[in-house]
Amino acid sequence: MCDLEHAHDAHHFGFLVDHPEIRKLIDDTRRSRNAFAADAERVAALRPAFARLLAADGWLPEKCAVPDRTSGMGGGIGQYALYRAEDGSLCLFSLVVPAGAATPVHDHLAWGLVGIYRGRQHETVYRRLDDGSDPARATLEIAKQQTLGQGEFYTLLPPLDDIHYVKTISEAPSISIHLLANDTACIWRHRFEPASGVVTPFRSGYANAPCPPEPHGT
Ligand SMILES: [Fe+2]
């Protein structure tokens, strides 16, 4: 289900990996959207369901748990869609970061929950000091750093703590699970170079599903 060879004849939205544990989390997320108007309340309510998925075994196919040498993110980092709402309002994906590899510094632009399923990661979170008026520049400083192991997770509530990078510090690749309120790999977001202040448009793409065509071919 997670290999590109069959991407052309697979379905690319809905449950790309259909497992009761994944269905339960997506059902809980849909319910929480109706029950809570505020993003902070919604992600707080989803914490038990997300923790349960991280603690469960046997639901992540091996093909969604391996590095991707053709990665759009570089470093052999694999990003595999597990669930995608067709309207772009929600996705669940695995991110496989090989030992010693790090993501670019990036943002997410949606609320969500991110947790460690296998291995260990070190996360560096940045605070933005400028007003964001120049799309090509950003002034960043490190806001916090933390190490995360299996079952540990954090919330995303942009703009708070939305810019970060993670590095795998375990000997085996780390696998993190991401529940976000957009189609994360297919939206245009941003890659940051903190030392120079350069900001670059960035679309990571999924290893196992294509992104919808862009209206103007960009
Ligand atoms: Fe991230």
Q: How far is the CA of 178 from the CAs of 99, 137, 172, in angstroms?
A: 19, 27, 19
pLDDT for 215: 66
Regarding pTM above 0.75, the answer is yes
CB contact at 8 A, 148 and 190 = no
pLDDT for 14: 96
Q: Cα separation of 175 and 80, whole Å?
A: 11
pLDDT for 1: 53
pLDDT digits (tens, 9 = 90+) for 46-92: 999 999 999 999 999 999 999 998 887 888 999 999 999 999 999 99
Give 107 Cα–ligand 1 centroid separation in angstroms: 6
In the chain (218 residues long), the average pLDDT of successive 10-residue segments reads: 50 94 97 92 96 97 94 90 96 97 96 98 97 94 97 95 96 98 96 97 94 68
Give 56 Cα–ligand 1 centroid separation in angstroms: 22
Give 144 Cα–ligand 1 centroid separation in angstroms: 14
Sort 141 into a burial class: Cβ within 10 Å, 0-12 / 13-18 / 19+: exposed
Give 199 Cα–ligand 1 centroid separation in angstroms: 16
Tell me which residue has tokens 């060879």: 5
pLDDT for 216: 56
Give 106 Cα–ligand 1 centroid separation in angstroms: 6
Q: Cα separation of 172 and 102, whole Å?
A: 13
pLDDT for 113: 98
